[in-house]
Amino acid sequence: MSKLRKLAFGALLRIRKYAGLKGRGGIYFYAIIVGSFSAFIAAIFQKCTQLILSLLTGTKGGHFVEAFEQIEPWQRIFSLSLGGVISGLILLFASKKMRKKATPYMEAVAIGNGYIPMRSNLLRSLAAIVTIGSGASIGREGPLVQTATVFASWFGRKVNMPLPRLRLFIACAAAGGMSAVFHTPLAGGLFVCEIVIGVMSIDILAPLLIASCSSYVTVITFSDPSPLYEISSAHLTQNASVALFALALGVISSLLAKLWLSALASMRAFLNGNQYWLPFRLMLTGAVVGGISIFYPEIVGNGAHIIRGIVSADFSIEQVFALLCFKIFAVALFFGMGAIGGVLTPSLTIGNMAGFLFAHILIALGVPLTTEEIIGFSLLGMAAFFTTAAAAPITSLLLVVEFTLAGKMIFPLTIGVLASYFVSKITHTKSMYAASVSGNMLPAFNKPMGEVKIGNIFRKSLDTVLISDRFSSISKRFLRSSDDVIFVTTKKKKYIGAIFRSDIIQFLKSEYLSEVIAEDIMRTDVPTLSPETCIIDAIKVFSGTRYEALPMVDTSGIFKGTIYKSDIITGFSEVLRRERVSG
């Protein structure tokens, strides 16, 4: 088996060499492959959740709400509770037994080193499959995309992609995953570009779009090619009063989204406590939501059923109001208790219901609206709500247009989205992805330039080697990761020196150097930075060296982490941009 694997990788490396895939154009080739691969991961993930649903409910799978409507009330509670216990046990096992903790793909792409540990992340994906399959009120897009990026990270490191390319490659996998979930080739790429990477450049966007298109082609080739929620009946007249209503809905949706984000954060802070209670907590959550589902089965699943119901005018205003309250409660409870799942579709569902209720308030105030216009406002609410929740106006706009085919509503949608974005800025709303894409750096970037210290923006890479560690184990680490440097410390983590990939790269696979130790290949002339070093001084130190990363060492000589030149420059330009904009 390992021989076959070696042959396959050898062939791949040869293809890469002769096809010039190491060059700039190579990423387009990889984007096609990883996009298509992500679509298959999405299909497998979906099949697995349906299998769990069938096993727990005894139905033939399919849609969650339909399956729950077919079963007895006690079975609804049982399914969600059992799913909660099992996923809680898996998460507990992962947290206690896995040495390497799971890394969110957003962090790996935005600020990390592209390394997403395989086992811990796959265990989390398994927990998510069980939770989602049991009918939990959460989305599947988050863990599904995470699963695709785990494999992308593994592959990228196997073929020794340099760090910037590895990050982009993982981002391509994420774009492919998003495109496969929502059938949105354009919004899939934009989602990653706008939310995760945060830079709209054609050099970045092009491979992302290639990956999402490749994923979409795979999806439409092997499964249903229709849009997720085709709503050709939605309509909003393009006149001044509709523009004003769109503006008002944008503002209201943004404020609602802010409340929603606060509720999520509060629930996480108050409920997500001791890990040992996780299985019990998730079981309890399952029982509570299962109990609600006896009366409102629509709250199970990610909320897609509610969106379809609203746009088909299946629900009364009272039903939608009750569903809105219960949905917010159920999603916040699941996330607060520590369940693994996506928050994107639930956000869209809440926004959709808010838009629907807004339209009915207009009717109550005497504004005559047709059914098409009510649906139109519900879509507008969806886009505006997600704009604030994700801090991504362009993605929100295109996501809604693409998966509803409501292109003729682009004008009022744009007004609603921009109004929402404007309100989110003046209310300083942090998006639901802010923590994942900024790691521990965001607080640092909010300080004045002179106060930003290295201790705020270093990376905790405590994976060091000892002075007597053999070359074979050091080269293995370099082959497995994309790190440019490994630091040498004593057993008590006192810093000694640094081993650079560039020094030993041509010898990584040598069979003659097994007796070489870290001391033989480390450099001791590498400048060190202290946690108190100011960002400006750090730039001066970097400019005097050729190194891309330096060690951060405290006053007693203990190694604390790694400072990357790219992080320093990102931090510097971020603070500079903020200071320039805010005066």
Partner 1 sequence: MNNIHAIELSEAMSQEACLEALLGILKASLSEEMWGELKEAVYLREDTSSTYLGNGLAVPHGRVASLGSTHIVFGISRCGVDWPSGDSKANLVALVGIDKKDVAKYLSILQKISKWRKFNPAIFDSHDFDLIKNSIISYFQ
As a whole number of angstroms, the distance between CA 248 and CA 257 comes to 14
Window of 5-13, 297-305, 488-496, 522-530 that interacts with partner 1 by CB under 8 A? 522-530
Q: At 29, list the tokens.
A: 């080739």
Tokens found for residue 305: 């059923």
Q: How far is the CB of 512 from partner 1 (least distance, A)?
A: 4
* Residue 201 is a binding residue for partner 1 (CB under 8 A): no
SS3 of 447-491: CCHHHCEHHHHCECCCCCEECCCEHHHHHHHHHHCCCCEEEEECC
539 binds partner 1 (CB under 8 A): no
Nearer to partner 1, 468 or 543 (CB): 468
> How wide is the angle at C-alpha 94 spanned by C-alphas 88 and 97, nearest 5°?
130
Which residue shows structure tokens 């409870």?
333
* Residue reference for tokens 């154009």: 25
| Closest distance to partner 1 from the beta carbon of 506 (Å) | 7
Of residues 13, 220, 418, 513, which one binds partner 1 by CB under 8 A?
513
Q: Is 516 in the site for partner 1 (CB under 8 A)?
A: yes
Q: Name the minimum Å distance from CB 10 to partner 1.
A: 22
> Applying CB under 8 A, does 546 fall inside the site for partner 1?
no
Determine which helix (DSSP H) or strand (DSSP E) holds 498, and give its type and residue range.
Answer: strand 495-500
Is residue 548 part of the contact set for partner 1 (CB under 8 A)?
Answer: no
Contact 370, 305 (CB under 8 A): no
CA distance 309 to 311: 6
**With binding defined as CB under 8 A, does residue 524 bind partner 1?**
yes
Among 18-26, 216-224, 278-286, 515-523, the segment contacting partner 1 (CB under 8 A): 515-523
Supply the minimum distance, in Å, between the C-beta of residue 170 and partner 1: 30
β-bridge pairing 485-489 and 495-500 = antiparallel
14 binds partner 1 (CB under 8 A): no
Per-residue binder mask for partner 1 (CB under 8 A), 450-489, x = binder: -----------------xx---------------------
Indicate the SS3 state at residue 517. Answer: strand
List the structure tokens of 240: 């001044």
Q: Which amino acid is at 388?
A: T
* Nearer Cβ to partner 1 (451/520): 520
- Min separation Cβ 485 and partner 1, Å: 12
Q: Please enumerate in sequence order all residues whose Cβ is within 8 A of that of 371, keeping only pairs 6 or more positions apart, or say none.
A: 233, 313
Identify residue 257 by its one-letter amino acid code: A
Find the length of the chain. Answer: 583
Q: Is 6 in the site for partner 1 (CB under 8 A)?
A: no
Nearer to partner 1, 270 or 512 (CB): 512
Selected from 107, 230, 372, 519, the binder of partner 1 by CB under 8 A is 519
| By the rule CB under 8 A, 515 interacts with partner 1 | yes
Helical H runs in 22-162? 26-57, 64-70, 73-97, 105-110, 118-133, 141-158
Stretch that binds partner 1, among 250-258, 364-372, 443-451, 503-511 (CB under 8 A): 503-511
* Structure-block tokens of residue 529: 């930075």
Region of 271-279, 408-416, 517-525, 554-562 interacting with partner 1 (CB under 8 A):
517-525
Q: Which of 2, 201, 274, 506 binds partner 1 (CB under 8 A)?
A: 506
Min CB(167)–partner 1 separation in Å: 27
Separation CA 105–CA 145 (nearest Å): 8
Alpha-carbon distance 533 to 540, whole Å? Answer: 11
For partner 1, the binding residue among 5, 259, 507, 545 (CB under 8 A) is 507
Interface ranges with partner 1 (CB under 8 A): 467-468, 500, 503-504, 506-507, 510, 512-513, 515-517, 519-521, 523-525
